[in-house]
Structure 1
């Protein structure tokens, strides 16, 4: 038997994983909302390079490019897609033209982050989702930034853990104010070009957050009204929403409320959690009230959760960029957006039909699948 022993195998250091290159990003539409997108992208130079902007208004385009130091501008989306080959396009145009622009971007191989509402109807949203590229992209995501603040993430984690008990009762109110002059733009306040009124165009942020927290809904009873504004669509809506968990919610959306507020309150078995803000929240906008006997347990769990990230475009855009650089579908997915649009469609359908509505009532073949108002007038 040999007394010699085998020499140990040499240890080799593994090569570091390559760092993904920044994504090439373009913005379509240079109105007010686009500035939030540009600011978020410019704050993340390691993740994104903002290479182009598109707008049919030459003056608006040049002003936007100059303000945000964007190297190239285009009047035509197709020309930009051909010339720039972006990885991601932010669609910040009026909702009536979202579908055509999103499908053009997806067809050119670019993923899309589209402003809310992503589509004018469930049928449109489904066709946009069908234009995605499958497991390897390109993908469509929708801006629902309230999901990404640390307060919402903390609450979702506590719901999942069971520490709060079952959700029982909720209120979800978007009570904002818009004067008649707001509707002077020719596409606003019209079913054909805006898809709906504030239930679709404004309150959808809060209702999307409510769905992200409480999950699947089962039935809606609602009324929509035109109370004060000279528009085709509603200016206020009220709905009762039943959830699969057994919780019920009151959902109110208004553009007639001089004291403006965005509010969600959920009463669980062991605590009440409230969020009050206007267009975006931070940690200080949340309030926790434990039920008697659960003060220490609930407060400890709440304080141990995520903190420090405000809701807003930046918080979602970072996650969109990171997902795409990792080759994954970005949040909020087309499936998630369809869920929120389906709830909005149910509010309109229930009001026009004057009866409770379930998800099955909104399937293809329903007039409210094709148009939010089902082709009817208020």
Structure 2
């Protein structure tokens, strides 16, 4: 794939202003996540008059043809640059493996399209910064990450309570992504490898809950971690644990595992006046949140905390709806730029701490640090040349 010869941060003009017309979208990669999550979200917004999917791209001609036929998408491509040149979409959603994300995102941005990219957005912080350098200077286009757990009525309500310190100052938190993946899962050649998957459960599974924790509690300041290969014969870890301190003083434990038969995703935050807990697996509704007030909290105040409003589940749809609103306003969307980078930086710091047996501070990993350009940081026993073969 080639990219256009455009200076970073400068983009060709769009065909017409976004106001008063549907946003033209294209889907890159036509696998399960595109079919099951992205296309239905676009279909719903199409019903509302907001979007239309004008094209899809995949290197597998049969896959993209069937995707377009099933989804009513008019144009199927096997070449990304040709699609960008001929269709000139306003928005590109990227549903391909992580190693392709950087080049595809840059190509779309240089073509003037906004980008919505599945997690992990790119394999390294260096890649993320290279993508950010291609974004528009003032009003886009911008590249955002699919972090759908941030969106929905439950998260919105709890984020407001925490920001206002209605339940008191946040003190202690737990963030848990304990899932189960068997040997058949890792029999797929690209899984469990740094180059193709970008990392183990911290990068590919727990990133959603860690991002949600950061969205609720704000910036982190330092991390101390451990990682291991306890079951699977892979290059990456299959379990990690971390202690995280936040700028607001709160302290958290984080566990990411693919070794846990009783699967659960959980966040618990103990504040001075209440505990708020979210327990779910791959998505949440209002009923998945629980707020337990301290014994001395007045009943009327505690009852107000329980009012989550109309139930809006976390979903690709809710994030896409907000992204479209940001596009129309010419504003940077959430989960992009510095706001999106913080979760990737925490994961890089987790790996650095685990592989070097040291506490890692926020902002520490930059140019010249091996963990800036590779999540394994060339650490003995973890870098591909020295690690366990997948």
TM-score, length basis structure 2 = 0.90
Moved over 6 A (4+): none
Say whether 1:30 aligns with 2:67: no
Alignment-derived partner of residue 11 in structure 2: none
8 Å contact from structure 2 (residues 68, 75) kept in 1? yes
Tell me, what secondary structure is at the counterpart of 2:223? strand
Alignment-derived partner of residue 84 in structure 1: 87
Match of 2:77 among 74, 77, 82: 74
- The 2-side partners of 1:38 and 1:60 are apart by 14
Match of 2:336 among 333, 354, 358: 333
Tell me, what secondary structure is at the counterpart of 2:244? strand
- The 1-side partners of 2:345 and 2:63 are apart by 34
1:305: Cα distance to partner? 4.4
8 Å contact from structure 2 (residues 277, 291) kept in 1? yes
Alignment-derived partner of residue 312 in structure 1: 315
8 Å contact from structure 2 (residues 273, 297) kept in 1? yes
Say whether 1:249 aligns with 2:252: yes
Q: Number of aligned pairs?
A: 361
Alignment-derived partner of residue 277 in structure 2: 274
Match of 1:200 among 199, 203, 208: 203
Say whether 1:181 aligns with 2:158: no
8 Å contact from structure 2 (residues 171, 270) kept in 1? yes
Tell me, what secondary structure is at the counterpart of 1:293? coil
Alignment-derived partner of residue 216 in structure 1: 219
The CA deviation string for residues 182-209 of structure 1, in whole angstroms up to 9 with x for no partner, is: 1222221111122111101110000000
Alignment-derived partner of residue 7 in structure 1: none
The CA deviation string for residues 190-230 of structure 1, in whole angstroms up to 9 with x for no partner, is: 11122111101110000000000111111101001111112
1:19: Cα distance to partner? 5.4
Which stretch of the first structure deviates more once superposed, 352-361 or 45-54? 352-361
Which stretch of the first structure deviates more once superposed, 222-231 or 177-186? 177-186
RMSD: 1.3
Q: Which has the larger radius of gyration?
A: 1
Tell me, what secondary structure is at the counterpart of 1:134? coil
- The 2-side partners of 1:222 and 1:307 are apart by 39
Alignment-derived partner of residue 367 in structure 2: 364
1:325: Cα distance to partner? 1.8
8 Å contact from structure 2 (residues 19, 328) kept in 1? no
- The 2-side partners of 1:370 and 1:295 are apart by 52
- The 1-side partners of 2:57 and 2:78 are apart by 6
Alignment-derived partner of residue 163 in structure 2: 160
1:295: Cα distance to partner? 4.4
8 Å contact from structure 1 (residues 349, 368) kept in 2? yes
Say whether 1:61 aligns with 2:64: yes
- The 1-side partners of 2:307 and 2:257 are apart by 35
Say whether 1:95 aligns with 2:98: yes
TM-score, length basis structure 1 = 0.93
1:297: Cα distance to partner? 4.6
Alignment-derived partner of residue 143 in structure 2: 140
Alignment-derived partner of residue 44 in structure 1: 45
Alignment-derived partner of residue 302 in structure 1: 305
The CA deviation string for residues 265-313 of structure 1, in whole angstroms up to 9 with x for no partner, is: 0000000000000000000101110001114254233234443110011
8 Å contact from structure 1 (residues 158, 301) kept in 2? no
The CA deviation string for residues 246-268 of structure 1, in whole angstroms up to 9 with x for no partner, is: 11101000011111100000000
- The 2-side partners of 1:275 and 1:308 are apart by 15
- The 1-side partners of 2:140 and 2:28 are apart by 20
